[in-house]
Amino acid sequence: MAEAAAKLPPIEQLYNPNSQEYMNDPVPQCLALAKRGKLVWYEPWQAWIMTRMPDIMDCWKHEPLSSDFYDWEFAPKRPPEDQWSNFERAMIGHSLLADHGHHRLVRRVTAPAFSRNVVDAIQRKIEPDVKRLFDELGEPESFDYIDMIANHIPFISITRMVGIPEKYWPDIKQVILTFTETWNPTISEEQRESARQDSNRAILIIKEVIAERRNAPQQDDFLSTLLKIEAENEGFEEGDIITLILALIGAGADTTLVAQQWSVYALLKNKDQVATALATPDAFSNAFSEINRWGVSSKMGFARYAPQDMELLGQKLRKGVMVLMMPHLKDYDPEYYDDPKTFDAQRVFNPDVLFGYGPRYCIGAALAKRQLYLTISELFKRFPDVELAEEPERDASDHNAIVFKRLLLKTNVAGASN
């Protein structure tokens, strides 16, 4: 067995998520990586890659690895507490990522903020803005969905959901574009620092909005719900509110933009599935998992770090080394999914791990899927005969996903009206 393994080519010859080949079709490279073993060393990233879903789920559930970016061996030195900026106070002092015990407390007490009733109320808040976007678009013969619609949705959704007054929108917009870069270990330190400063400016705005809301409480947005939770639960503080809002920004910004692109693309490539996928919010919730499985847009995965020298899945890990969990490697594996090349909006996902699993399940998943459902439904209501005007060119510049340079759609409005 060892002799056979020694004859295998280096994995970086078979797997390169920054290559044009991966952009065009990531599936062969993902399958090649998954076949190499449970835990595969990837030299370009100086990281181990966890390839198997049972191991990833076990890691999510029992958390043997650290989620704290500052535990990474190449991270900047963790600043002492007396030198923390607002960013460090949010991401260390009240982190959803680092402190397992506090993370569980936050999840427990904030569960009401993610209830079905709250999600329904938030849909009512953002629906007029989405309709207004399409009203302003009008009925062109063709348009770039990314430029005209998708780019605007994360900002609208986050500000309306959280309850950030419009007077602050220009100043907070930048962090919505860059927040996820603050902990991405594969980008430059200069890029991370720029994103960190964007976050510091955004936190000042969030603190100002919180102070205003305390003086004039409202009842129909996420921030109001969190302030009520703060008043009723010892141990849940303003810093936790700020961190949760940043988490929503992280979950709802560039990831939502990627989701918008791939949802439209996947449904237009499989138009026989549109009615099924958009029948109800719950139907779309399932269809969205299939959209992500079918599209395989991920490059990197979920970063964790060895908290000490340890053994994991038969490999010796040094303290601080990165471990990347890559659940998307399974998405075209015929041993995991029947007929993986076929798009099936009613495919059964049991369990559905698109948004994580166990204690690390994304708390904003229902909110993210609802705003996607609202926007995609509006597209097909306005333009029931919409189709791709061209096969979109893929853009390699995104740090964590395969995206499109543009998504040009033909509305076929004139043809539909004749």
So where are the chain's domains? Answer: 2-417
Find where tokens 């002492």 sit.
Answer: 80
- The string of pLDDT tens digits covering residues 263-304 is 999 999 999 999 999 999 989 989 999 999 999 888 888 889
- Specify whether the CB–CB gap between 346 and 276 falls below 8 A: yes
> What separation in angstroms does the CA of 6 have from each of 1, 36, 46?
9, 12, 20
User: Does residue 340 sit in helix, strand or coil?
Assistant: coil
Which pLDDT band holds residue 99 (cuts at 50, 70, 90)? low
- The string of pLDDT tens digits covering residues 376-417 is 999 999 999 999 999 999 987 777 789 999 999 999 987 544
**Higher per-residue pLDDT: 30 or 117:** 30
Which residue type, as a one-letter code, is found at position 345? A
Give me Rg for the CA atoms of the chain: 22
Q: 351: cis peptide before it, omega within 30°?
A: yes
CATH number of 2-417: 1.10.630.10
Alpha-carbon distance of 9 to 18, in angstroms, equals 19
Q: Which of 59, 9, 67 is nearest to 35 (CA)?
A: 9
Tokens linked to 127? 């629906």
Composition of the chain by helix, strand, coil, percent to 5 = 60, 10, 35
- Specify whether the CB–CB gap between 288 and 369 falls below 8 A: yes
> What separation in angstroms does the CA of 93 have from each of 69, 84, 109, 413?
13, 9, 18, 53
Q: Which helix (H) or strand (E) holds 42?
A: strand 39-42
The confidence score (pLDDT) of residue 57 equals 92
State CA 212 to chain mean position distance.
30
The confidence score (pLDDT) of residue 416 equals 45
